[in-house]
Structure 1
Amino acid sequence: MNIGSLFASALLEEHYSPRIYAYYFKHWNDYDMAFHRHDSTEIMYVIHGSCVVEWQEERPGPASARLGKGEFILLDAEVPHRLVVDGSCRMLNVEFGFVPHKGELPSVKTFAEKEASLRELLAVRRASLTLQDPDEVYHSLRSLVLELDYQGGDGKMLDRMLLMQLLIRIGRLRSESERSLAPQAGQYVKASIAYLVQNYDRPLTIREVAASVSLHPGYLQRLFKSQTGRTMIEYLTDIRMEKAKMLLERTAIPIADVSDYVGAGSRAYFHALFKKYTSMTPVEYRAAMDKQRLSEGLPAAMESDDS
C-alpha cells in the first residue's frame, strides 16, 4: 500500500521507499489560489520574492505563514492549503510519497534507525513545518530536480538517494531550529501565560496566543506542555475557574453573569465546567462560601435568591 503522509507511523514500523510524484519551478505574480489538497506530501520553497501559504488544521480556521527568499514549508498529505502572492514569487515545488520498499537502497525505516533527526521528524505528526534554509535544502532540492529531469522524470536509484538526503537535511534543520529556541522556551511560555492572565475574560484561540509571542501555534503548544505539564487550554481553564471561584466567594456579581466575567462561554457550559472543576455547581459553591463566611462572622457575598 502506498503512503502519502510523511508522518505515517508505518514508515517507522515497516519498510518503504520514497517516491517523487511531481516537481516544478513556477513564477507567480499577484496570484490568489483556491484551497486544495494532495494525497502526497508537498514542499514549497521560495527562491525569490515572497508569498503567504494558508492551510487548515483540525481546529477551525486557517493557519498561515509568510515565506521569503530561502524559506520553505512542508505540507503533509491531505492538508487543505492555498497560495497567496501579492507581488512576485518564484518557487520550487516537490510532491512525494512512499511505496513498499524494493531494491538495494536502505528503506526509510533503516535510515531513521541510524539518523535520530530523521526519526524525530517522522515521529511527530503535524500539518505543516516551516523553516529557514541555510541553502542546504535548496541544493538538495535542485540536485533532485536536475536528476529527475536527466532521467525523464523517473530517476531510478539516485533520485531516491537524493530524496532521502533531502529528508535527513530537513530533519537536522528542524532539530537545530528547535535547539536554538530551547533556551528561550521558558520566556515564551511565561509570556504566553501572561497573555492568558490578561485576556482570560474574552474568547481566546491558541493561534492568537501564539501570534502574541511570534511562534507557530503547534510549536508553542508543544513548548507549553513540556514546560507546564498542561495544555494551554487546560491552563486557561484553570485561570478561568479560579477567577470564577473568587467572584462567587468575594463579590455580589450574579451567578448568571459570572460566565461573562471569566470568558467561559455560555452559562450552561460554564456551569458544567465549574461543576467538573469543583464538584459543585456555582450556586452550591456560593452557598458553601457564604455559610463559611457567616460562621467566621463575615457578611455573605450576596443574598441567597441568586440563580
Structure 2
Amino acid sequence: MSNFSLYQHELLTNHYHPKVNAYYFKQWDFHHMDFHAHKEVEIMYVINGQCVVEAEQETIQMKKGDVILLDANVPHRLLVEEGSPCRMLNIEFTFVSKVGSFPSIKELTDHSVSLNRFLVLKRPYVVFKDPDEIYHSLKTLVLELDNERSIQDPMVYLLFSQLLIQLSRMIINKDENEQYDLSQQSNVYVKQAVDYLHQNYDRDIQIKDVAIAVSLHSGYLHRIFKQQMKCTILDYLTRLRIQKAKMLLKETEIPVIEITHYVGVNSRQYFSMLFKKYTGQTPNEYRKLAKKSIQKMNY
C-alpha cells in the first residue's frame, strides 16, 4: 500500500493488518516541536498534565484524558510549556498486507458498523475525551508489544482490533452528539429505540411497536430518530437485518430460507430483493463469494 492513510479506500476493498512502527510513554517538561508529518497514523494520549497540539492551522488545547488521532501525512507539532509538564502515551502505525488467519481491517468492518462508518470519515484529525477505555486498551497493547517486540502475534492483532473498534465507537458517538442538536432526553429515547431494534430485529416490527417500547408517540419518535440517525427507523432496521444476514451467510451453512426468518423477514422473495438492493448481490451470490474468499485466505 503506497498511501498509509486511515481512510485509504484499499482498507475496505483489500486485506490489510495494522503494523505498529513506534510506541512510547514520555513525559515532556518543556518542548516546542517543529512542524512535521510522517507516513504513520498517530494516536496521542494525555495521561497527565496539559499540552497544545497544532494541526491543520488549528490550535488544540489538550489535558488529562484527551486523545487525538492524527491521520498519516498531516503536518502537526506538540507544544509543552515550561512549568506545565505533560505525560503522554503515543503509538504510530501503518498497514501491511494480511498474513495468517486473523481478520483483516476489511473483515472487521463487516461486523462493526461503527468501524465501517469511521473509516470513510476522511478527517485529518479527531479529538475526544476518553472515559478510560482507550487508555487501558492502549496501555495493554503497548505492554504486549514490549513482550513480543520481534513479531506481531495474534494477541497484538486482537488488542489492536479492540482499540480500533473502541475508537470508532467513541468518534461516531461524538459526531452524532455534535451533529444533532437534540435534548438529552431525546438521545435517551433514540438509544432505547436502537436497543429495541437490535433485540427484536428477528420479529415483525412496525414503528408503533418501537414507539410503545420507548413510551413515545410514533410520529415524534420517527422525527427525532431521523434527526439523530440520519435515516428512518425502518431503514435502520433493514440495514441491521442485512448486516445480520451477511454474517449468517458468511459464517454458517444455514439455508437462505431459514436466514430469511432469522432476520425477521417473512418472504424469501422480498428478502432477496432487499439484500440485492443493499449489497448488489443475491444472498446465494454473496455466500459463494464469501466462501471463495475464505478458501483463498486459507491456502
TM-score, length-scaled by structure 1 = 0.57
- CA deviation vs aligned residue, 1:188-228 (integer Å, no higher than 9, x gap): xxxxxxxxxxxxxxxxxxxxxxxxxxxxxxxxxxx9xx9xx
Instruction: Give 1:178 deviation, angstroms.
Output: 2.0
User: Residues 52 and 153 of structure 1: is their aligned pair in 2 closer, same or farther, counting only changes over 3 Å?
Assistant: farther
User: Residues 71 and 92 of structure 1: is their aligned pair in 2 closer, same or farther, counting only changes over 3 Å?
Assistant: same
> Which residue identity lines up with residue 159 of structure 2 in the other structure?
L
User: Residues 153 and 173 of structure 1: is their aligned pair in 2 closer, same or farther, counting only changes over 3 Å?
Assistant: farther
Alignment of 1:29-48 (within 5 A): 29-48=29-48
Query: Contact conserved, 1:147 with 1:155, CA < 8 A, in 2?
Result: no
State how far apart, in whole Å, the 1-side matches of 2:18 and 2:3 are. 9
Partner of 1:20: 20
Between the two proteins, the alignment pairs up a number of residues equal to 183
Partner of 2:133: 136
State how far apart, in whole Å, the 1-side matches of 2:30 and 2:133 are. 29
Alignment of 1:35-184 (within 5 A): 35-56=35-56, 62-86=57-81, 87-152=84-149, 154-184=151-181
Query: Contact conserved, 1:2 with 1:100, CA < 8 A, in 2?
Result: no
Query: Contact conserved, 1:23 with 1:95, CA < 8 A, in 2?
Result: yes
> What are the ranges of 5 or more consecutive residues in structure 1 without an aligned counterpart?
57-61, 187-222, 227-307
- CA deviation vs aligned residue, 1:6-29 (integer Å, no higher than 9, x gap): 110110111111111100011001
State how far apart, in whole Å, the 2-side matches of 1:99 and 1:83 are. 28
Query: Contact conserved, 1:2 with 1:98, CA < 8 A, in 2?
Result: no
State how far apart, in whole Å, the 1-side matches of 2:150 and 2:59 are. 31
Instruction: Give 1:179 deviation, angstroms.
Output: 2.6
> Which residue identity lines up with residue 9 of structure 2 in the other structure?
S
Percent identical pairs in the alignment equals 43
State how far apart, in whole Å, the 2-side matches of 1:48 and 1:22 are. 21
State how far apart, in whole Å, the 2-side matches of 1:33 and 1:78 are. 16
Q: Which runs of 4+ in 1 moved over 3 A?
A: none
- Pick which of 32-41 and 172-181 moved more: 172-181
> What are the ranges of 5 or more consecutive residues in structure 2 without an aligned counterpart?
184-226, 231-299
User: Residues 42 and 162 of structure 1: is their aligned pair in 2 closer, same or farther, counting only changes over 3 Å?
Assistant: same
Instruction: Give 1:185 deviation, angstroms.
Output: 7.3
Partner of 1:301: none
State how far apart, in whole Å, the 2-side matches of 1:134 and 1:174 are. 13
Instruction: Give 1:157 deviation, angstroms.
Output: 1.7
- CA deviation vs aligned residue, 1:208-263 (integer Å, no higher than 9, x gap): xxxxxxxxxxxxxxx9xx9xxxxxxxxxxxxxxxxxxxxxxxxxxxxxxxxxxxxx
User: Residues 129 and 14 of structure 1: is their aligned pair in 2 closer, same or farther, counting only changes over 3 Å?
Assistant: same
The structure with the larger Rg is 1
Q: Equivalent residue of 1:154, what SS?
A: coil
Partner of 2:285: none
> Which residue identity lines up with residue 13 of structure 1 in the other structure?
T
TM-score, length-scaled by structure 2 = 0.58
User: Residues 14 and 23 of structure 1: is their aligned pair in 2 closer, same or farther, counting only changes over 3 Å?
Assistant: same
